[in-house]
């Protein structure tokens, strides 16, 4: 039966022993969305094209947040990321929906996975978009933040499927 | 017309001048949800009641993250929080849906609002729940992260309305 | 004769070269005590049993502090911890003495030892207990913080003995 | 009856609301000792006089740690220190006991006290001495870390007295 | 006669007491230059115009570094910046010299100046340009980093003049 | 033709993939100068000889900054430094010029170079000297910060030569 590995047999939190796990190449991909008013998306598009680069700043914030994951998440192991890449996707200009999707790929060579690094980067990327646009639109909603894919490591690969992720 | 205040008239990002804004009491409330398998929620409930306290650890992570907001969000002003409170809500035991809601109230006395502090705390609280339960359920989804309420400051109070926030 | 390795031959501090030391498994165990009024210990016991979990929060603070060691101690090498575990011990309920002992085990695979990580975690664990109980008892004293054991590395194993540690 | 103010009425940890407390001048003095072999103390004395300045480095580490207190102690409020001073005391050269005492004074103008800042600085000052001398003496013991004095604030002044404080 | 205020009368470093200094509006402007090969500057110009925005990323790094000043400079007081603005200047396209100038304005309302915040932001802005262009040009030189102007505070205003400042 | 490797083919910043690069021993040496009034240098010399050790404090700040490089420079990979050494050089007592040179050697075993760590340490070392002497001399100028040498890694060794550094 499933149990929570971050607790020992007495129910006390610990940073799990990973010394005996082999150092393998680990990849994780996570994604999330921020939904907004069409007028807000128009401001982002405009800035992206000419000046006031919201997404460029959110990308840097996301990359830096990936490096801070083990400071933020109490039981995460510190690890040396070997790659972080951040992609943003926007709806087509003729679509009525208004959102930005943020997808982050994180990689390391080590004994633990990098899901938390990818997810943390997504969250901080979305938060930065919120921060930069909030004067125009306080009602933005961050949603559907989830792991898409995980490769490397003993527990096997994971690929999100179906509608719920 | 609305513009993005984090950019100057040349479209260059800056940390906005707030020296002339009065120091008033500011409150922000943000919320978000992590959806999961019923078996995962059962593990959290069990831990909460007896041992392996997922939510207690997520609460601490959320409070500490609120204090790190200006490190994470590039154009946020540093500020001295005067209060951070974190609440978790779970569905009734007879409901079929499985989720945890995290709601954070942040306060300061200063020239800028604390929305980003409340939202950052919610995100890191949810991420910590994900981290602690991910060995059992990689498909958890963080969703509906948004500002509920904001009080204090020149731009007036904000209260999220309707279903979308 | 013994010398202080953190200084070069001119007496200038440096972060010692460890590139030629082999990466081996390193373990360190450190411990310390906080002495308090019996009424304070009663509050901690009560919280631990039902609500207001002082020791659970101190455990998280200790684990996170272990990860911050190289930021706090100027000449410490940064390293990737592979395990951190924190144990608290209390006197029997019939004893008149009132204290909490905090014992931390830290591990890594690398060229340097993890004594400082274990000791830093103990100190911050005790400081967190102090912080959470200080409204009730400002006279608590943190005492007897020392290395119990060290394994791995060229300088040989160390096991504290006798009364002085 | 005494209770633990870092918990709300449901026993959940929070960062206590201090918005209504007046900003007054706060002072805290804390102290602690590291006991060692006489030969280790001789190394420190020698370095202090000519080169290899253990105490100068420990002083800087203590000051920087005071500024990191709210990152280390989960429920501490962030605050702007207005002063940090660190003193070291050594036994007379003719005494047989071998130790270094570290005493820190911290000050701020604000709604909360600075006991934790002073205590954290003491602990990190002692840890840095341990780190710099550990190649010569692993059995050093940090002891008697406590608050000496606290001034300013509603709860009144505190002055450690008698044998327990 | 001039003395170094960061030391007490015994020559020991301390964080100077500023509790009695009035909180006034403080402004500091600092600047610095990175000199490079013309081909490197061409890459930066190109990126700035179309994609690969070196200066946009350096601006964000500079702003975030300003917020980290008291962590980096041991005896700096922590302070709440109210404004940080970063400007880059490049030679005219017909000039043969190849460089980027970075000028930072930092502001706060408080008892201490913000020169170190402005200077630290300049240095990290220049370092980020170096990092992003180093694959093309390792011989870049950072030069002429200095305070241009300082306003507010008891010691009077400062305006760099002549050849040395 | 040279390009900026920190951008992908779409001109978007990323933390470059280094997983396939071999872990080799990397060394980097960087240097820089702070020019000052002769009276300021006299204060530093005096402090260095007897008390008020400006350079000892700047050395510690430089070493700690090397460890923070990947937090400060957005696209830097985190890495585990195996050595950091900081040297200061002063003009002969009979020279009329007044300056301090700071030279830092950084080393690691890993897939990426340590130039940024060495340069960041130099910059923060110089900034700390500025901070400690600024009450006596606001016109100090930090200059000529550059990479002297780089060894290890696929791109070959680098040795600064000629007039451009």
Rounded Cα distance, A87 and C154, in Å: 46
Distance from CA of F1 to the nearest CA of C (A): 35
At D112-148, the pLDDT tens digits run 999 999 999 999 999 999 999 999 999 999 999 999 9
pLDDT score, position A52? 65
Is B59's CB within 8 Å of D110's CB?
A: no
CA atoms within 13 A on the CB side of B41: 20
Tokens 């008697």 sit at which residue?
D144
Binary contact (B73, A61; C-beta < 8 A): yes
Among A163, A42, A80, A67, which residue's Cα sits nearest to residue A121?
A67
- Which residues in B lie closer than 8 A to residue A5 (C-beta atoms)? 135
Closest Cα in chain E, distance from residue A90 (Å): 18
Residue E4 binned pLDDT confidence (cut-offs 50, 70, 90): confident
Contact yes or no for F78 and A81 at CB 8 A = yes
From the candidates C20, C101, C131, C157, give the one annotated as an active-site residue: C131
Please tell me the distance from the alpha carbon of residue D85 to that of residue F133, in angstroms, as a whole number.
19
Rounded average pLDDT over C112-129 = 97
Instruction: Please tell me the distance in Å from C41's CA to the nearest CA on chain D.
Output: 11
Partner C contacted by D50 (CB < 8 A): yes
Chain D nearest-CA distance from C56, in A, is 11
Q: How far is A122 from chain F (nearest CA, A)?
A: 14
Is any Cβ of chain E less than 8 angstroms from the Cβ of B11? no
Q: Around Cβ B17, how many Cβ atoms within 10 Å? A: 14
CB B19 to CB E82 under 8 A? yes
> How close, in Å, is residue F29 to chain A by CA atoms?
23
pLDDT confidence band for E5 (50 / 70 / 90): confident
CA dihedral angle for residue F154, residue F121, residue D133, residue C122, rounded to 10 degrees: -90
pLDDT one-digit tens code per residue, B70-111 = 999 999 999 999 999 999 999 998 899 999 999 999 999 999
Mean pLDDT, chain E, integer:
91
Option in D18, D75, D79 nearest B63 (CB):
D75
- What is the tens place of the pLDDT at every residue in E61-96? 999 999 999 999 999 999 999 999 999 999 998 899
* pLDDT(F6) > 80: yes
Q: Which of D33, D37, D74, D161 to mutate to test the interface with C (most CBs of C within 10 A)?
A: D74
Percent with pLDDT over 70 in chain A: 93
Residue D156 pLDDT class (50, 70, 90 cuts): confident
Residue in B8, B17, B53, B131 annotated catalytic: B131
Cβ–Cβ under 8 Å, residues D130 and C122:
no
Looking at the complex, report in whole angstroms how far the Cα of residue C65 sits from the nearest Cα belonging to chain B.
Answer: 13
Find the mean pLDDT for residues B152-159: 86
Q: Please tell me which residue of chain A has the smallest CA distance to B5.
A: A135
So what's the pLDDT on residue F2? Answer: 52
CB contact under 8 A, D143 and C143: yes
Q: Is the pLDDT of residue F34 over 90?
A: yes
pLDDT above 60 (res A165): no
CB-nearest to B59 from D13, D79, D111 is: D13
A12: nearest CB among C59, C67, C107: C59
F18 touches chain A (CB under 8 A): yes
CA distances from E10 to A90, D107, F48, F51 (A): 63, 20, 13, 7
What does the pLDDT read at residue A163? 41
Nearest to B11 among A52, A68, A140 (CB): A52
The answer on whether B116 is annotated among ligand-binding residues is yes
Chains in contact with chain D (at least 3 beta-carbon pairs closer than 8 A): B, C, E, F
Annotated binding site of D: 75-77, 116-117
F55–E contact, CB cutoff 8 A: no
Contact B133, B78 (CB under 8 A): no
Residue in B39, B123, B160 closest to A127 by CB: B123
Q: What DSSP letter does each residue of C34-58 carry, written as one string?
A: EE--HHHHHHHHHHHHTS--HHHHH
Q: What confidence score (pLDDT) does residue B46 get?
A: 85
Looking at residue C11, the DSSP 8-state letter turns out to be S
Catalogue the active-site residues of F: 131
Query: How far apart are alpha carbons D61 and D84 in whole angstroms?
Result: 12
CB C111 within 8 A of CB A43: no
The contacts of residue F7 (CB under 8 Å, 6+ apart) are: E47, E51, E52, F13, F14
| Nearest neighbour of F74 by CB, restricted to A63, A82, A85 | A63
Residue of chain C whose alpha carbon sits nearest to that of F78: C78
DSSP letters for B4-17:
-TTB-TTS-B-B--
E75 is in an annotated binding site: yes
Stated as kind and residue range, the H or E segment containing D36 is none
Contacts of A84 in chain F (CB under 8 A): 14-15
> E14 among the known binding-site residues?
no
Separation CA E155–CA E148 (nearest Å) = 16
Residue C21 has pLDDT above 70, yes or no: yes
Helices marked H in chain E: 38-49, 54-67, 69-72, 115-133
Those chains having 3 or more beta-carbon pairs within 8 angstroms of chain A are B, C, E, F
Is 70 exceeded by the pLDDT of residue D164? Answer: no
Mutate which: D54, D64, D77, vs E, most E CBs within 10 A:
D64
Do residue D14 and residue B107 have CB atoms under 8 angstroms apart?
no
Q: Residue A158 is inside which H or E element, if any?
A: strand A158-159
Residues of B in contact with C57 (CB under 8 A): 56, 60
How much is the pLDDT for A2?
A: 52
The pLDDT confidence band at residue D3, using thresholds 50, 70 and 90, is confident
Contact of D44 with D144, CB cutoff 8 Å: no
Write the pLDDT tens digit of every residue in C96-109. Answer: 999 999 999 999 99
Encoded tokens for D51 = 């080169």
pLDDT, greater one: B156 or D66: D66
Estimate the crossing angle of helix E54-67 against helix A54-67, to 10 degrees.
50
Of F50 and B5, more confident: B5
Per the model's pLDDT, the better-predicted residue between F49 and A18 turns out to be A18
Chain F residues inside the 8 Å CB shell of A68: 71
CA–CA distance, F83 with C17 (Å, rounded to integer): 4
The catalytic site residues of E sit at 131
pLDDT band at A164 (very low <50, low <70, confident <90, very high): very low
F56, F61, F64 ranked by CB distance to D56: nearest? F56
String of DSSP letters for chain B: ----TTB-TTS-B-B---TTS--EEEEEEEEEEEE--HHHHHHHHHHHHTS--HHHHHHHHHHHHHHTHHHHSTTPPP--EEEEEEEEE---TT-S--EEEEEEEEEEEESS--HHHHHHHHHHHHHHHHHHHTTT-TT-EEEEEEEEEEESSTT--EE--TTT-
Q: Do D73 and C128 touch (CB under 8 A)?
A: yes
Partner F contacted by A25 (CB < 8 A): yes
Q: What is the pLDDT of residue F11?
A: 83
Contacting F residues, span 86-145, partner chain E, CB-CB under 8 Å = 115-116, 119-120, 123-124, 126-128, 130-145
Which of D57, D68, D88 best tests the F interface by mutation, with the highest count of F CBs <10 A? D57
Tens of pLDDT, residue by residue over A58-89, are 999 999 999 999 999 999 999 999 999 999 99
Closest Cβ opposite residue A77 in set C25, C64, C81:
C81
DSSP B73-88: STTPPP--EEEEEEEE
**Chains near B, with 3+ CB pairs < 8 A?**
A, C, D, E
Instruction: Compute CA distances B48 → A10, B74, B96, C54, whole Å.
Output: 13, 35, 19, 15
Residue C52: its pLDDT value, please? 65
Residue D4 confidence (pLDDT): 82
Instruction: Give the closest-approach CA distance of C84 to chain D in angstroms.
Output: 16
ipTM for the predicted complex: 0.95
CA–CA distance, C162 with D139 (Å, rounded to integer): 10
Which CA distances in Å does C54 have to C46, D4, D165, E130? 10, 9, 22, 47
Q: Do D15 and B63 lie within an 8 Å CB cutoff?
A: yes
Q: Which of C68-72, D149-153, E70-74 has the lowest mean pLDDT?
A: D149-153
**Helix (H) or strand (E) run with residue C17 in it:** none
Domains, chain F? 24-152 (3.30.70.640)
Q: Tell me if A14 and C83 make a contact (CB, 8 A cut-off).
A: yes
Whether the predicted pLDDT of E102 surpasses 90: yes
Q: What is the mean pLDDT of residues F128-154?
A: 95
| Cβ-based neighbours of A1, under 8 Å, separated by 6 or more | none
Which residue, chain included where needed, has tokens 């700690």?
F64
User: Averaged over A40-49, what is the pLDDT?
Assistant: 83
> Distance of alpha carbon E120 from its chain centroid, rounded?
5
Report whether E133 contacts E140 (CB < 8 A). Answer: yes
Count the neighbouring beta carbons within 10 Å of the beta carbon of residue C12. Answer: 18
């Amino acid at each position: 039966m499933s149990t929570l590995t971050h607790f020992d047999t007495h129910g006390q939190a610990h940073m799990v022993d990973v010394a005996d796990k082999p150092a393998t190449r680990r990849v994780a991909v996570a994604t999330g969305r921020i939904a907004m008013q069409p007028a807000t998306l128009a401001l982002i598009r405009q800035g992206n094209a000419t000046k006031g680069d919201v997404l460029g700043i959110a990308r840097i914030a996301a990359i830096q947040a990936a490096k801070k994951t083990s400071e933020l998440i109490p039981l995460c192991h510190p690890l040396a990321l070997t790659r972080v890449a951040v992609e943003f996707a926007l709806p087509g200009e003729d679509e009525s929906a208004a959102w930005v999707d943020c997808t982050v790929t994180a990689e390391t060579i080590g004994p633990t996975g990098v899901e938390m690094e990818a997810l943390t980067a997504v969250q901080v990327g979305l938060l930065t978009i919120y921060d930069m646009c909030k004067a125009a639109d306080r009602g933005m909603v961050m949603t559907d933040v989830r792991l898409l894919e995980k490769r490397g490591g003993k527990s096997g690969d994971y690929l999100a499927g179906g509608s719920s992720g």
